[in-house]
Structure 1
Amino acid sequence: MTKWIFIEPFDTVFFRDGKPFDAGNDFVSFSIFPPSPSTFYGALRTYIIMQYSNLSNFRSDTKITNVVGTDANNLGSLKIYGPYLYKKELSPFLLFKAPLDIMQRDRIVINLIPSSVSSGLTDLEANNKIKINLALPSDFTSNEAFEEPEEFGDYFTEDEIRAYLSGQFSSIHLKIKDFFKNEHKVGITIDKSTRTAEKHMLYSSPHIRLNNVGFVIGTEDDGNFVSDNGSFHLGGDNRTVRFENIPEFEAKIDSLKQIVSSQLKTQSSKRIKFILLTPGRFKNGWYPDFLNKNNENELEGTLPNTNIKLKLVSCVLGKPDYCGGFDMANKYPKKMEKIVPSGSVYFFEVLNNNEDWINTLLENYFFKSIESDEVLLKQGFGQILIGGWQDEYK
């Protein structure tokens, strides 16, 4: 059973982007937002270790290592979902990175879908000639009075994502991103032996201040080590956050799942899309690991733990993000890797002939991960929202 906790900083938080930083040689560090799922996973592992043991002795206690593992490459049973941005007070709602198949032009919503037109296709892999195509409605491509379309580039509220999943999202309401802001903090390195400031070691780091918004993560197989409330350190500079259990969060996911289930059954369509809620780290780079090239150089595959066979029809991907981090045990930056950003969308056609695939799909993958690597899956990468798409514009 998944335990959902709401995480709220006491003050600002700082999530470094993983690039090497050496005070004295570098004067400004860089931050990312929203933070990587692995940041929360690492913080939660450390919280469990420090609550019930310590960094020197925890490996001798099998009850703890069964849950948190022995190191970053040998994880235990602990699995997380999220992080998701969540506004908790008054009328609680989720915030979603806007799916990239939504664009805007003159405040009019444009829904991108795969086109059957064969011309103008894009090679995502020049050597293997995998071709992807998305199209604008003909009304927009033929009217030169309109400006070029642009990404929505904002966050969807829970109501907006409901409309999006129902196929009823049609108007843009421009809003200010007022739920967080950047604050630059200036610091200086302290000599531990003399406890005085070191010369030429001044640096600046951009912190994030959240406004009436926090994070939600779900935990599974945590050995009951995660209590219903408490605090732990999160991100850089050992910033402290508090957390509390919010059991009502599961109902929000079930409500969204019901919308998608009704939509797919009403449309009687075998066209579905996966929207990344958290970044994807795939061995093939830009597409999920369960896909393989067939004889016609198309990408298709069977979703793990199901009999659902999918063919990739198209996708819209954001600019790659980079995920690194810091190895606390060895005091060294981890290797930077490209990841597919949240909001990216994959369009599929279901190849199954039977009619029982919808419930199986939603039960196994709605708000869950499509990662094949067990470590990445447990850390929260590759979680998806599922929707449907029509084959033509109305």
Structure 2
Amino acid sequence: MERYLIAPFDVLIFGDGKPFNAGEQHNREINFFLNPVPFVSAFNKSTNSKVGLNVLSLYNEEKQEFLFPSPFDIGFENDGKVVSSFLKKSDGDFISSEKIEFFVKFNTDKKMKAGGKFINTEGLINYLLGKTPEKNSFYDLFDIITNELTAGIEIDKNKRTTKEKKLYFQPFLRFNENVRFFAEFNKKLKKEFLTIGGEAKAVKVFKSDKAPETFFEEVKERIKEKIQKTKLFKIILLTPTNYPPEINGAKKIAQLTGKIITFSGWYNIYKENKKLGGFPTRLFKLIPEGSVFYYRLEDESMLDEIFNNYWLKPRFYIHELPYFDKNSPIGFGLTIISAVSLEGKDE
């Protein structure tokens, strides 16, 4: 595997995935999430081949730590206090469209919110072991990026002039100078600079000797031991997915998901490294990163296979072209596995 740190030179754009008409709309929204598509597209173009992406995260170069989306079963009170959660058996009054046996309950009666933050390596390790991470393990989104509002106008490519009444405003994202993207690809990149996204923003690419799995490897067996005792585990999304797949040897008993992401893109067609054309994809409804799915282990002999498939692997999705190809993962559905608490107390 080839590992890289990717540093934006200026700002990046992350659209909200919805159709945009500059003549009718004057403000284009953004929705930042760990989207692998711009990175895979840039690497495909640079290498003239179809590149698979295995891991995508953020990385704090100053503190030498990976940053991951905070799981939605971690809450935060108004003063920033971290709130743990546990599974509670559902009763007859609990209504859901899913056949859910349990629901997630937080250890607080105060107002709180979940999601919208990033958790560092040490904090995520504690969480995976069933412990409550420290407050300083988390980053607010504004610690990582700031929005910069920029004016734009649509261009008539045939006349090479601006179009009348096509002025709009577009937020761009500027990353903290210490924050990088981390990406693990299955092919080597020979260039030091790339352009990312439809706006072709320049980024610098650095070879990296860091790998998330090395930080988490020492706790993997401890997590397995806890799962063998409780027969419960949870899968945490580190990048979005389209739908949770069926897992052999396990049954889903609860879930806690964030607001659905509306997403679409542009798919290019190549033949013998020559671009033949392209087309916009349909709209996808994505389950956001940080969402948590709880399972009961029904066949203990399948535990190793479950870890092989979903421990820092981009496989947690159902087959749906072009972005959710079971034969060629591009980074969606990246997950990790955690122990589960039924009592709501740290071990």
TM > 0.5 fold call:
yes
CA distance in structure 2 between the partners assigned to 1:358 and 1:235 by the alignment? 39
Instruction: Please state how far the C-alpha of 1:197 moved relative to its aligned partner.
Output: 3.2
Alignment of 1:253-332 (within 5 A): 253-266=213-226, 268-282=229-243, 288-290=244-246, 301-302=247-248, 309-327=249-267
Distance verdict in 2 for CA 1:257–1:347, change over 3 Å: farther
For residues 14 and 300 of structure 2, what CA distance do their matches in structure 1 show?
46
Q: 2:207 aligns with which of 245, 256, 261?
A: 245
Q: Distance in 2 between matches of 1:260 and 1:366?
A: 9
Q: Of 57, 66, 80, which residue of structure 2 is paired with 1:94?
A: 66
Cα–Cα, structure 1 residues 23 and 103, in superposed 2: closer, same or farther, change >3 Å?
Answer: same
C-alpha contact 1:10 1:240 (8 A) present in aligned 2: yes
Q: Where does the alignment leave 5 or more consecutive residues of structure 1 unmatched?
A: 50-66, 69-77, 141-145, 283-287, 291-300, 303-308
Match in the other structure for 2:120: 157
TM-score scaled by length of structure 2: 0.84
CA distance in 1, matches of 2:20, 2:255: 35
Q: Contact 1:186–1:203 at 8 Å: present in 2 too? A: yes
Greater share of strand residues, 1 or 2? 2
CA contact (8 A) 1:84 1:94 kept: yes
For structure 2, the 5+ residue unaligned runs are 270-276
Q: Which residue number corresponds to residue 273 of structure 2?
A: none
Higher-Rg structure is 1
Is the partner of 1:34 in helix, strand or coil? Answer: coil
C-alpha distance after superposition, 1:286-332 (max 9, x if no partner): xx222xxxxxxxxxx41xxxxxx001111111111111113456665
Residue of 92, 95, 103 corresponding to 1:122: 95
The aligned residue for residue 131 of structure 1 is: 100
Shift in alpha-carbon separation, 1:327–1:29, aligned structure 2, 3 A: farther
For 1:113 and 1:22, the matched residues in 2 are separated by 45
Instruction: Report the Cα offset of residue 175 of structure 1.
Output: 5.6
**What is the TM-score of this pair, normalised by structure 1?**
0.75
Deviations 1:152-206 (A, max 9, x none): 5311122211221222225435765322111111122344455443322222211
Q: CA deviation at 1:391?
A: 2.7
2:241/2:286 contact within 8 Å kept: yes
- The yes-or-no answer on 1:41 pairing with 2:13 is no
Question: Number of aligned pairs?
Answer: 327
Provide the alpha-carbon RMSD of the alignment. Answer: 2.5
CA distance in 2, matches of 1:393, 1:258: 25
Q: Find the counterpart in structure 1 of residue 272 from structure 2.
A: none
Letter in 1 for 2:221: S
**Taking structure 1 as reference, are residues 116 and 208 closer, same or farther at Cα in structure 2, changes over 3 Å only?**
same
Query: What residue is the counterpart of 2:292 in the other structure?
Result: 345
Q: Distance in 2 between matches of 1:350 and 1:107?
A: 34
